[in-house]
Amino acid sequence: AVQGPRVLLYDVLGALGSRLPNLGVLGRAEYLS
């Protein structure tokens, strides 16, 4: 149940990553780890 919203959050961070590279990299690192 928690995994769903979390994935959605990282998806949003990934989208923001196109504008804010730092957040994009951080989001990917958290998602992959």
Q: pLDDT at position 8, please?
A: 85
Distance of alpha carbon 8 from alpha carbon 1, whole angstroms: 12
Dump the DSSP string for 7-31. Answer: HHHHHHHHHHHTT-HHHHHHHHHHH
- Does residue 6 or residue 21 have the better pLDDT? 6
- Does residue 33 or residue 6 have the better pLDDT? 6
- Total-model pTM: 0.37
Q: pLDDT at position 24, please?
A: 59
pLDDT in tens, 11-30: 887 777 666 666 556 666 77
pLDDT of 9 above 70? yes
